[in-house]
């Protein structure tokens, strides 16, 4: 994965949602209508891993694919290329939670 802005799609059991994320030198930041995300990522030998802190920023909307928690830690893992990653998100506070994410490079940031 290279530095830049990525389109992100999450395919949950109830809906598919999209957003954008910025990856730069190991830092990850994103905003969604319900949550703000910040964390660190690493890519080694074609494997992407990230630890992302998620904080609710809008209490007027109900999240579709993510839990209605005020804050949680999201772990992303999966295969990655230079401009694309197919990841699985897990949340240790929510046993059994698994959400597929796809990252696709959009442009430089």
Residue 103 C-alpha from the chain's centroid: 8
Strands 47-56 and 16-24, by their bridges, are unpaired
pLDDT at 14 over 80: no
d(C-alpha 5, C-alpha 48), whole Å: 16
d(C-alpha 109, C-alpha 97), whole Å: 31
pLDDT at 82 over 90: yes
Q: pLDDT category, 9, cuts 50, 70, 90?
A: very high
What are the structural domains of the chain?
4-107 (2.40.128.380)
Mean pLDDT, residues 91-101 taken together: 94
Residue-level pLDDT at 32: 86
Backbone angles phi, psi at 100, to 5 degrees: -70, 135
Mean confidence (pLDDT) of the chain = 94
Residues 2 and 83 sit within 8 Å (Cβ to Cβ): yes
Mean pLDDT, residues 44-64 taken together: 94
pLDDT tens-digit readout, 60-74:
988 888 888 999 999
Residue-level pLDDT at 71: 96
């Amino acid at each position: 994965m290279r530095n830049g802005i990525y389109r992100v799609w999450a395919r949950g059991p109830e809906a598919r949602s999209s957003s954008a994320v910025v990856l730069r030198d190991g830092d990850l930041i994103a905003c969604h209508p319900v949550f703000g995300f910040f964390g660190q990522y690493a890519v080694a030998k074609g494997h992407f891993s990230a630890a992302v802190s998620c904080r609710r920023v809008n209490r007027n909307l109900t999240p579709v694919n993510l839990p209605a928690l005020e804050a949680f830690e999201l772990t992303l893992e999966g295969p990655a290329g230079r401009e694309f990653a197919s990841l699985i998100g897990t949340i240790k506070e929510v046993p059994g939670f698994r959400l597929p994410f796809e990252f696709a490079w959009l442009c430089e940031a």
